[in-house]
């Protein structure tokens, strides 16, 4: 009996080892796992696109179907991220956010730019969305994808969506770069 238990253990380990031989390696990298969990992660760019245009400037040059590269901050609304769809509000960097006024503690949502002139704010925002093949926003939030949060400065590559106007710029994003800091 003394020799039976070690012999059975050794046989069991041998069978486990042999069962694993010849099988393909199914281990995934952390990026593959992240993309499987959240396919929006593939939009996150590692390198900053060149020559981005401020949001306010782009609103004056609306031509649906045109490629555009915008720079701005996530904000301009009390809830800049849609909780159910892949979209957010990108606001021109010339807009004054509450955290830039020196008294960040007075405002629970400094990204809403509630202290800014409302007409300037309206003229300085763009809706950024990620759409499927049918042109509908993906049913998943962009908040947190690649670490993106309110007030982050982003460079967004995309195409100006049909239905856009100087009063309502909508961009179908194809790439998003989060600036460090």
Is 170 in contact with 160 (CB distance < 8 Å)? yes
* Torsion-angle region of 180 (φ positive above 0: left; ψ -120 to 50: alpha; else: beta): beta
Per DSSP, what are the bridge partners of residue 155? 71, 177
Task: Check residue 104 and give its pLDDT.
Answer: 54
Q: What are the 10-residue block averages of pLDDT along the chain, 181 residues in total?
A: 41 35 38 58 96 95 95 96 97 88 72 90 96 93 96 97 94 97 79
Looking at domain 42-178, its CATH architecture is: Beta Barrel (2.40)
CA gap 100, 115 in Å, rounded:
10
Residue ranges of E strands in the chain: 53-54, 67-74, 87-91, 125-129, 153-160, 169-178
Task: Check residue 105 and give its pLDDT.
Answer: 62
CA gap 142, 42 in Å, rounded:
12
Tokens of 120: 């300037």
Q: Model pTM?
A: 0.78
End-to-end CA distance of the chain: 66
CA gap 103, 71 in Å, rounded:
25
CA gap 45, 72 in Å, rounded:
16
Q: Pairing state of beta strands 169-178 and 125-129?
A: parallel
CA gap 70, 57 in Å, rounded:
9
Domain boundaries, the chain: 42-178
Task: Check residue 102 and give its pLDDT.
Answer: 67
């Amino acid at each position: 009996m003394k020799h039976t238990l070690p012999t059975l253990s050794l046989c069991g380990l041998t069978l486990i080892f042999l069962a694993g031989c010849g099988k393909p390696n199914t281990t995934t990298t952390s990026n593959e796992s992240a993309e499987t969990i959240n396919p929006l992660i593939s939009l996150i760019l590692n390198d900053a696109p060149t020559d981005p245009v401020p949001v306010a400037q782009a609103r004056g040059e609306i031509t649906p179907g045109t490629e555009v590269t915008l720079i701005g901050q996530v904000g301009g609304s009390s809830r800049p991220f849609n909780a159910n769809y892949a979209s957010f509000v990108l606001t021109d960097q010339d807009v004054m956010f509450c955290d830039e006024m020196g008294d960040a503690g007075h405002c629970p949502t400094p990204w809403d730019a509630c202290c800014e002139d409302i007409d300037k704010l309206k003229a300085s925002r763009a809706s950024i969305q990620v759409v499927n093949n049918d042109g509908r926003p993906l049913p998943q939030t962009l908040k947190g994808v690649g670490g993106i949060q309110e007030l982050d400065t982003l460079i967004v590559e995309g195409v100006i969506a049909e239905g856009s106007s100087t009063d309502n710029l909508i961009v179908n994003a194809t790439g998003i770069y989060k600036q460090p800091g």
